[in-house]
Structure 1
Amino acid sequence: MATEQEINRIAHEIVGGGIALHKAFGPGCFESTYSPCLAYEMRKRGLQFEAKVELELHYEELWIPRAYEADFIVEGSIVVEVKALQAIAPVHLRQVKTYLTLTGCPLGLLMNFGDETMKAGVHRVVNNFPEGTSRDLPARRSRAVGEEKKNPDQNAG
């Protein structure tokens, strides 16, 4: 489990990779270009991450195994959502907040490579982030693409 200081260090590394990538390509490419390049940058920086993480949703007795897909979960603590849009809308920030709620991660980074500068394109979204403390934070509650979980209803009867 990561502390506030560790999460901020990891976020700094992720944003640094995004800045390097944005300097190389600018704002004109698609998400399908930026995502693998950001993965490469994070790998170069020694960060552990999962890509295209399927998130499940539970509502009463209903279980939806692949309700959402987060672009990256880094070091089990930060959700990274990659966009290449002219402008970020409130729905994009709510999307990241939903991912944080489903995973239990304390921090989300919405990285819009469509902005003129990466500094303008990075949006931090927090979820129970313990500002001013160094206590341990909860680990995520999601699985990577390909990991299986049986639906509890499948075992019934």
Structure 2
Amino acid sequence: MTENDVSKIIVDVCYKIHIRLGPGLLESIYETVLCHELIKRGLKVERQKVIPVFWDDLVLDIGFRADLIVENKVILEIKSVEEVSPLHFKQLQTYLKITHLKLGLLINFNSELIKYGIKRVVNNLYE
């Protein structure tokens, strides 16, 4: 399964969650339900995964945590905010570079329509 195949499933699940729960709940609710729904679909999901930074012989645990990593291919950063800031994109770009993964989705469930709340962030992904 490619990154794009995984992301199609994720987007579909996000749509179904957003239709049922609507916008504006706490991030933790969306994260928990999304994790549950992805696992139900047979996907491997890691939740609140620590992302260390490696430098020479050092392993720096500086507090980076990915909300969800799906199939070890796509990082999900989940938000429920009025407006996504450039800092949220930078956070996801950092996680992608450190992990060498190629695709991340920044998902803001506090959007009127979920299609406006999902942004793709790529790191050397060739489609």
Amino acid of the structure 2 residue aligned with 1:26: G
Q: 1:108 aligns with which of 104, 111, 122?
A: 104
Write the distance in 2 (CA, Å) between the matches of 1:119 and 1:15.
8
Query: Can you give the 5+ residue segments of structure 1 that lack an aligned partner in the other structure?
Result: 132-157
When Rg is computed on C-alpha atoms for both structures, the one with the higher figure is: 1
Q: What is the rounded CA distance, in whole Å, between the counterparts of 1:42 and 1:33 in structure 2?
A: 14
Deviation of 1:60 after TM superposition, in Å, equals 5.6
Please report how far the alpha carbon of residue 126 of structure 1 lies from its aligned counterpart in structure 2 after TM superposition: 0.1
**8 Å contact kept, 1:55–1:68:** yes
TM-score by length of 2: 0.93
**What is the percent sequence identity of the aligned residues?**
37
Report the equivalent of 2:5.
9
Partner SS state of residue 61, structure 2:
strand
RMSD between aligned residues: 1.4
Mapping of 1:44-59 within 5 angstroms? 44-59=40-55
| Residue ranges of structure 2 left out of the alignment (5+ in a row) | none
C-alpha distance after superposition, 1:51-100 (max 9, x if no partner): 11001113466532253000111111100111001110111011100000
Partner of 1:139: none
**Aligned positions, number:** 127
Rounded Cα–Cα distance in structure 2 between residues aligned with 1:60 and 1:77? 25
